[in-house]
Structure 1
Amino acid sequence: MIDQASAIKQHGTIEQLQPGFAAVRIRTIAGNMTSDQFRTAAGLADKYGRGQLHITTRQSVEIHWVQTGQLAAAFRELLAAGLLLAVRGRRIMTVIACPGKALCRRGLGDTADLAAQLNAGMVGQELAGKTKIAVSGCPSACAKPQINDIGLHGVILPAVTGNCSLCNLCGQNCNSQAIEVRENNLSIDRDKCAGCGQCVKHCPHQALTAQKQGFAVYVGGKIGKKPLLGVKVFAVIPEQDALGYVQAILNAYRQLSLQGERIGDVIQRIGLPPFRQEIIRQQAKASEG
């Protein structure tokens, strides 16, 4: 259990426009809360705020209109109820995620499980700059991994076997137009393929299989006054290794960053190849350890 003083120092508060009032932000795991947790949050909003809850863009829940003199009491009740506090400052922020394969028909990866692991092991750690992580279950990228410091989305790289009947159901279900049936032959344009796996799913003869499946990994994205689009550093990694890859990225960031820099700023300063090489070095170092 985090003590009250540490919680306020680490998580802080968000001052409102109105003097004497602040917002308190509750962290969710992959955007999920139980109905009991929502009822508790609602009760605290009635007690300390004005009976209103706000869902943030990073899947947290804010209680507005908390008087600054009541912040300590509000924090104490939040912690006692087992609710998590969101993170502020130069730290790893709340991890956001889409529902993933547990609920979405397009989902390829277990986003909720990975987000829970990232939340338990990494959120709140201090770094050179604030660090946002997003996990999506497929290339539709609903959690916007490309505009986060570290982003992952589920992916399948298909391969053709010798059982193709040339029915073209795969091509009809390929929104990227990466599949072509011509001269009794099925071909996949790897440059166009988004890795959504719909061709594998809709093939009635299992002529298309998942050659590789896991997560694509992006680094360096951010929004704000100077937005950057994240760059893909790994086309596909095994799902079971995702936590280790994220840790290697964070270790590389710690090694290469200057105070106040976010990952995208580091990449702009030194270039992507040195940053990627440091990730690989950190992976090798972890394997040796």
Structure 2
Amino acid sequence: MELMQASVQDRGGVITQEDPDRVTIRTRLPAGVLDVAQLRGLGDIAERYGAPHLHLTTRQAIELPHLEAARIVEIARDLEANGTPVGAEKHEVVNVVACPGTDRCKLANIETIDLAREIDGRFFGRDMPVKVRISIAGCPNGCNNALLNEIGIIGRIRPVRTPGLCTGCGTCVEYCPEQAVTIRNGVSVLDESRCDLCGLCIKSCPYRLIQSADRHYQILVGGMSGRHPTVGRELILVDTPEKVIGVVEKVIYWIYRRARARRLLGQQLDEMGFDDLKQRLAGEFGPAQAP
């Protein structure tokens, strides 16, 4: 029992509080999705062990605060049985975040939930020299701040105009948040240097004259939030979920081998050889069609 207690205590999802006899337990919920029975189960576990409330975290997990440290093993067993096991928080791969994606969102360009679960199943909880946060956004709106994660994945799509059929109604102009579309000589014209490949003009065209092409995943590395927010650097564009998982695996291994502890990943990309990694992955996975 003492060995098991120590093992559970060391998990990243067990967070010590100011009161040394109390802990907060963070759960593992890839993409923040759980079924109704699991949600009820968390409420039951919270009541059973005296948690006064539940806390929704910014990384789509649920925390049970103010629990007795002496009962960690019992609580962990009940959480495991509920399908909401103890999560991660230390220098490891933590809860994978995702927006609703094409399952629910009208703006999404890619499926996100199953991809998040697959990435979670392969990499969650791996010990790392630095914390590795992964976020998947279905479109460049980036509602879950994929740009500010150690690994960010963003779904993008290229709009293609149908020659000779545009009515010049201007709907796509009104919808484009980047002001990348204008009407010239009665037809819409796209300034590709301003387009962020969100696909909103495709969805807005009332006559369905803007087609979609080159659906792909933009993968960025080294984003930082917190004290010094920094956008991650583009690593590669790939065109399938399988390639996304392959790239993520390579990046995680690269971080494990090259990163130094006590510094954020985004602070050490150059000395880790980011450009070499970028070139190597481009050769291995092949670039998706770039803008």
The answer, yes or no, to whether TM exceeds 0.5 is yes
1:70-92 CA deviation, whole Å, 9 max, x = no partner? Answer: 11211122123332221132211
Matched, 1:72 2:73: yes
Alignment of structure 1 residues 95-244 onto 2, 5 Å: 95-162=96-163, 163-234=165-236, 237-244=239-246
2:184 alignment partner AA: R
For the residue of structure 1 that corresponds to 2:32, the secondary structure is: coil
1:129 alignment partner AA: V
1:224 alignment partner AA: G
Higher deviation after alignment, 135-144 or 166-175: 166-175
Structure 2 CA distance for partners of 1:259 and 1:16, relative to 1, 3 Å: closer
For the residue of structure 2 that corresponds to 1:107, the secondary structure is: coil
1:9-67 CA deviation, whole Å, 9 max, x = no partner? Answer: 34451111223111111121211111111111111111213331011111111111111
For the residue of structure 1 that corresponds to 2:130, the secondary structure is: coil
> In 2, distance between residues paired with 1:142 and 1:273?
28
1:215 alignment partner AA: Y
1:91-140 CA deviation, whole Å, 9 max, x = no partner? Answer: 11100111111111112211111111111111111222110000111111
Structure 2 CA distance for partners of 1:146 and 1:127, relative to 1, 3 Å: same
Match for residue 256 of structure 2 among 251, 254, 257: 254
**Cα distance, 1:205 vs structure 2:** 4.0
Higher deviation after alignment, 157-166 or 146-155: 157-166
> In 2, distance between residues paired with 1:5 and 1:18?
18
1:29 alignment partner AA: P
**Cα distance, 1:282 vs structure 2:** 6.0
Q: Is the 8 A contact 1:155 1:236 kept in 2?
A: no
Structure 2 CA distance for partners of 1:20 and 1:254, relative to 1, 3 Å: closer
Note the residue ranges of structure 1 that are not aligned, 5 or more in a row. 285-289
Q: Is the 8 A contact 2:159 2:197 kept in 1?
A: yes
1:113 alignment partner AA: D
TM-score of the superposed pair, with normalisation by structure 1: 0.88
Structure-1 residue corresponding to 2:289:
none
Structure 2 CA distance for partners of 1:171 and 1:226, relative to 1, 3 Å: closer
1:168 alignment partner AA: G
**Cα distance, 1:5 vs structure 2:** 6.3
> In 1, distance between residues paired with 2:152 and 2:104?
20
Note the residue ranges of structure 2 that are not aligned, 5 or more in a row. 287-291
Structure-2 residue corresponding to 1:93:
94
Structure 2 CA distance for partners of 1:178 and 1:272, relative to 1, 3 Å: farther
Higher deviation after alignment, 272-281 or 15-24: 272-281
Q: Percent identity?
A: 28
**Cα distance, 1:281 vs structure 2:** 5.6
TM-score of the superposed pair, with normalisation by structure 2: 0.87
1:167-219 CA deviation, whole Å, 9 max, x = no partner? Answer: 22222221211011213453211221121211111224443222211222211
> In 2, distance between residues paired with 1:259 and 1:277?
25
Higher deviation after alignment, 41-50 or 109-118: 41-50
